[in-house]
Amino acid sequence: MSDVLELVDVSVVRDGRALVDDVSWSVKEGERWVILGPNGAGKTTLLNLASSYLFPSTGTATILGEQLGGVGTDVFELRPRIGMAGVAMADKLPKRQTVLQTVLTAAYGMTATWHENYEAVDEERARAFLDRLGMTEYLDRKFGTLSEGERKRTLIARAMMTDPELLLLDEPAAGLDLGGREDLVRRLGRLARDPFAPSMIMVTHHVEEIAPGFTHVLMIRQGKILAAGPMETELSSRNLSLCFGLPLIVENTGDRYTAHGLPLS
Ligand SMILES: Nc1ncnc2c1ncn2[C@@H]1O[C@H](COP(=O)(O)OP(=O)(O)OP(=O)(O)O)[C@@H](O)[C@H]1O
Ligand SMILES: [Mg+2]
């Protein structure tokens, strides 16, 4: 299987500090990765590398066969091949656009505004993705008036619009209530198990948000990789405790996970 993402000895240095510190990591086609780590660990920085919006300070990053900064690599050709849904994106989108417009404009550049002559075929695709995410009743609502959960689902539909080969999700379930989280996990699980869906990398803070169908986990702490590999072996109490710096127990409950600290003795 070919590499969707390959980082070799990658560091990202800002103000003399390594936000990502000598990371080597490869994601193969069809894999679905979860990134776990404490606040400030470097998770979003990793996604920014994977989305080609951030270049390594040292080391090499190759995305979908294109090396960042390499001869012949044009990031403007690369970017439509990558779908990204994250908090930073939500802030850049015009609040007065409708949900349908918000998704549709993804086909025409990152935050382009509405114009009238979209292709019918694109509108059909936008409607289909929104339907898949349970947003059919919100097509004409202004993006700025959506709840957190509705906004997240719209952003995922938007990220799918360019038919990406790699889908990046930064904390898609953050801010959702229990019902909203379970609904999203179910939808992401369906996507993760779809063999025609893109390769996926999802950042999350909670193992409860890992949908069935996700295959691999990467744990990062202070910019350094602590563990990276198949979920069954790497999502262990030992690794999670090292990652978050306190004793934790992770349990596999069928096809989902849950984690908690040790009771006070
Ligand atoms: N442009 C920058 N200049 C300096 N420091 C930065 C810059 N961008 C991010 N950082 C710092 O790098 C570290 C990693 O940030 P990052 O956003 O990747 O963390 P994260 O793991 O996504 O955290 P969270 O869980 O809080 O979202 C943080 O300490 C952050 O303050
Ligand atoms: Mg982050």
Please name the residue whose Cα sits nearest to atom 13 of ligand 1: 40
| Angle at CA of residue 214, ends 126 and 99, nearest 5° | 20
Indicate the top mutation candidate among 10, 43, 202 to test ligand 1's pocket, ranked by most ligand atoms within 8 A of CB: 43
pLDDT at 117: 62
Residue 5 CA to ligand 2 center (angstroms) comes to: 19
Whole-Å CA distances, 28 to 25, 210, 259: 10, 19, 27
pTM above 0.75, yes or no: yes
Tens-binned pLDDT, residue by residue, of the chain (265 aa):
579 999 999 999 999 999 999 999 999 999 999 999 999 999 999 999 999 999 999 999 999 999 998 888 899 899 889 999 987 777 888 999 999 999 998 876 555 555 556 678 889 999 999 999 999 999 999 999 999 889 999 999 999 998 899 999 999 998 889 999 999 999 999 999 999 999 999 999 999 999 999 999 999 999 999 999 999 999 999 999 999 999 999 999 989 999 999 877 6
Q: Which ligand is nearest to the CA of 35?
A: 1
Distance (Å, rounded) from C-alpha 140 to C-alpha 154?
12
pLDDT at 86: 84
Whether 259 and 207 have beta carbons less than 8 Å apart is answered as: yes
Residue 229's DSSP bridge partners are 217
List pocket residues of ligand 1, CB cut-off 6 Å: 14-15, 19, 37, 39-45
pLDDT at 113: 55
pLDDT at 264: 72
The owner of tokens 């004793």 is: 247
Residue 6's DSSP bridge partners are 26, 62
pLDDT at 119: 77
Whether 178 and 197 have beta carbons less than 8 Å apart is answered as: no
pLDDT at 15: 95
Tokens representing 193 are 């198990």
User: What's at 115, amino acid-wise?
Assistant: H
